[in-house]
Amino acid sequence: MKAPFGAEVIGVDLKQSLDGGTKTAINRAFADNGVLVFRGQSFATPDQFLAAATNLGEPMPPVVATYRLPGYEAIEELTNTATDTRTGEKTLLYRGGSWHTDHSNLACPPKATTLYAIDLPPSGGGNTEFINMMMAYEALDPATRETLRGRRAFQAYISRRAPRKLLARTDAEKQGSDGVWQPMVRRHPETGRAALYLNPMRCDAVEEMEQAEGDVLLDALYAHADQTQFQYSHGWSAGDMLIWDNRSCLHQATPVRVASERRYMHRIMLRGDAPIMAG
């Protein structure tokens, strides 16, 4: 892979049972690289994808059930075309089209997300892009690092600053998902490296700062992180399975080139622990 981070795993068929040594090696590579690419996977059923993801952690259901694959609590359908369940009309969707990390509004956000490509638009587009927030943190100047030391940001279900809308939640789905104070710099539990833990969709306030001052800081940090030297853009092929580390990466989807062409994937998130403040 010609990218500043990420790695391709070659010679592993995730439909097959993996021995303990292989699982350990894959999980270590995942923690070290932030994004892993498994090409040429051919899952005949959603159960095979679920089993593959389970090699890397415990699947968790999304907060909002709208796009769950029928019969599967932890698998979501990601597609740019869908049927509106209220009207029955076909609609065009563009999900995930701005930088974010998944479910950072939870006390224990998912440690990872995995996607499996099933149908892709013939004309291209629909990449998934990543920012390595460990690299972004390590490139900060000392004064900014000191400003962030011990500081938290409030991560809401949706921030007043969010660049796009999110799905509406039922009353039951609102339980435990309204938001939480999270460290702005978190320690990776496996590598020990520090990473910016920010989310333009959810960061709503900075601890011990007035709103305007906090907004200036967040804008500066987002601009700093959004540089090509910290990024990888994945162009999909059918059968690709990606897993990325929500503890150290932001991600976003790019538009398909022809809006009516179908992009269809399955998604599974993996349970994580409460973020640890970096010292």
pLDDT, tens digit, for every residue of 103-136?
A: 999 999 999 999 999 999 999 999 999 999 999 9
Average of per-residue pLDDT values in the chain: 91
| Cα 224 to the center of its chain, rounded Å | 19
Per-residue model confidence (pLDDT) at position 158: 77
Inside any domain, residue 277: no
CA separation for the pair 237, 120 (Å, rounded): 7
Report the pLDDT averaged over residues 44-52: 97
**pLDDT at 66 exceeding the cut of 90:** no
Sign of the four-CA dihedral 275, 270, 191, 251 = negative
Q: How confident is the model at residue 88 (pLDDT cuts 50, 70, 90)?
A: low
Per-residue model confidence (pLDDT) at position 93: 53
Inside any domain, residue 87: yes
- Domain with residue 57: its CATH number is 3.60.130.10
pLDDT digits (tens, 9 = 90+) for 162-217: 767 776 777 777 777 778 999 999 999 999 999 999 999 899 999 999 999 999 99
Q: Which two tokens stand for residue 98?
A: 């701005």
**pLDDT at 47 exceeding the cut of 90:** yes
Query: How many domains does the chain contain in total?
Result: 1
Range of the domain at 147: 7-165+175-270
Inside any domain, residue 279: no
Inside any domain, residue 56: yes
- CA-based nearest residue to 80, from 100, 97, 63, 64: 97
Inside any domain, residue 128: yes
Inside any domain, residue 170: no
Q: Phi first, then psi: what are they for 49, rounded to 5°?
A: -65, -40
Inside any domain, residue 198: yes
CA separation for the pair 140, 146 (Å, rounded): 10
Inside any domain, residue 120: yes
CA separation for the pair 7, 164 (Å, rounded): 30
